[in-house]
Amino acid sequence: MNNWKDSVLDSSVINDKEFSTDEFGILNCKVENSVAYEFHQTHTKGAFLRKFEKQKYHQVNWETPYYKRVFDDFLDGKDFNNKVALDLGCGDGRFTEYLLHKGYEKIVCVDFDYRLLVSLSEFAEQNEYSEKLLLICTDISNLPLKEDAFDLILSIRTLYYLNEKYEKAIKYVNSLLKKDGVLIISDPNMEGFILRALVFDSLGNALQSFENRKFKEVQAETDVWFRTFDEKELTEIYLKSGFTIEDKHGISMFHNLLRVSQLRGNISELEIENNEHRIKKMFDHLHDYGHLFKDVIWKLQKQIV
C-alpha cells in the first residue's frame, strides 16, 4: 500500500484486528450486523447510484446535478492539492467520481455494502484511479482511520441509518477531521418525507413520521424506520458536536415525487419525455427558490479549540 494510504490508517487498530485486502483492492474490516446492514442486504439490491445517475428520468439522474451544484459552491476557492478526502457511505462512487474530477487524488471510500465497493473498484481500475482511492468495507463503528487525518469528509444520506447513534457518529466524524477540516453532510428532511407519506402511503405513516422523527425508506413489507430531522434539530446536533455552520442548501423533494408518481403509473415516461425541458426549468427554479426539501446539505467547519 502506498504512503498516503498508510498515513491515514490507524496502525494500532490494523495490528490489533484481522484485516485483509482482497483481489479488488478492498480492505475488508468488521461489519456489525445492524438493522441498517440487514435492511440493505434484504430490502434493496444495492444503491448503485453512480449507475442510476446515467439512467434517464431516474430520480438519481434528476437530482445529482443539483448535489454537485451545491458541492461546487461549498468548495469554491478550495485548494485540492495534496488534500485527503473521506467519502463516508460512498456506495458505488457517485460522489467519489465527483471528487476525482475536482482534483482530489487521495480519497478514502467507505461503505458496508461489499457489492458497491466492487463496482467502484472496477470503475477505478478501468479509469486508472486505483492509486487515488483506498476502498474500505466496514461500518462507522469499525473504521481503522486516524484522527485528524482528513481535510474533507463527504457524508451524503448515510449517518441517519444509525438512528439513535447519530449524535455519537457526528462527534466521531469531527475527530477524523484536521483542525481546519470541512464536513459536507446531508440526511433526510422531516417535512419532505411527511409529505411523501401523506401523498403516497397513509395518514398514519405521515403522523408516525412526524411524532417519531422516523420514516420508512421503502414501503414494502418491512417495519424498519430510519431517523429524519428538521433543520432546528440538526443545527443543535452539529453545534454540540464541535462544528460551526458555514452554509446550507436544500435538495428539492420534487425529484422524488416525480419518480414515485412515474413508478406508480400516474405519470408516463412519454409524458415526461414530451415535457423534459419544462421539467428541468421547474427543477432549476425549485433548487434556487424552493423550500420543500428531500434533505439539506450542510457545510460544517470543525471548531478550532
**Per-residue 3-state assignment (H helix, E strand, C coil) for 238-295:** HHHCCEEEEEEEEEECHHHHHHHHHHCCCCCHHHHHHCHHHHHHHHHHHHHHCCCEEE
Give pTM, 2 decimals: 0.94
* pLDDT band at 12; cut points 50, 70, 90: confident
Please name each of the domains of the chain with its CATH number.
Answer: 3-187+232-250+295-302 (3.40.50.150)
Q: Rounded CA gap, 39 and 226, in Å?
A: 10
- The mean pLDDT value for 125-129 works out to 96
- The mean pLDDT value for 284-304 works out to 96
The residue written with cell numbers 434533505 in the block is: 295
Q: Is the pLDDT of residue 130 over 70?
A: yes
Identify the residue with better confidence: 80 or 127.
127
Mean pLDDT lowest for which of 4-8, 47-51, 105-109? 47-51
pLDDT digits (tens, 9 = 90+) for 206-239: 999 999 999 988 766 668 899 999 999 999 999 9
Q: What percent of the chain has pLDDT over 90?
A: 77
- Average model confidence (pLDDT) for the chain? 92
Q: Is the pLDDT of residue 1 over 80?
A: no
- Taking CA atoms, 277 is separated from 127, 187, 283, in Å, by 32, 29, 10
Helix (H, G, I), strand (E, B) or coil at 215: strand
**Is residue 26 within 8 Å of 135, Cβ to Cβ?**
yes
* pLDDT band at 46; cut points 50, 70, 90: low
Q: Rounded CA gap, 174 and 301, in Å?
A: 9
Q: Is the pLDDT of residue 303 over 60?
A: yes
CA angle 80, 81, 85 (to 5 degrees): 50
- The pLDDT, as a whole number, for residue 52 is 85
77: region left, alpha or beta (phi > 0 left; psi from -120 to 50 alpha): left
Q: Rounded CA gap, 147 and 150, in Å?
A: 8
Q: Is the pLDDT of residue 108 over 70?
A: yes
> C-alpha grid cell for residue 48?
448503485
Helix (H, G, I), strand (E, B) or coil at 232: helix
- The pLDDT, as a whole number, for residue 211 is 95
- Taking CA atoms, 240 is separated from 47, 233, 243, 302, in Å, by 31, 11, 7, 11
Mean pLDDT lowest for which of 23-27, 156-160, 172-176, 218-222? 218-222
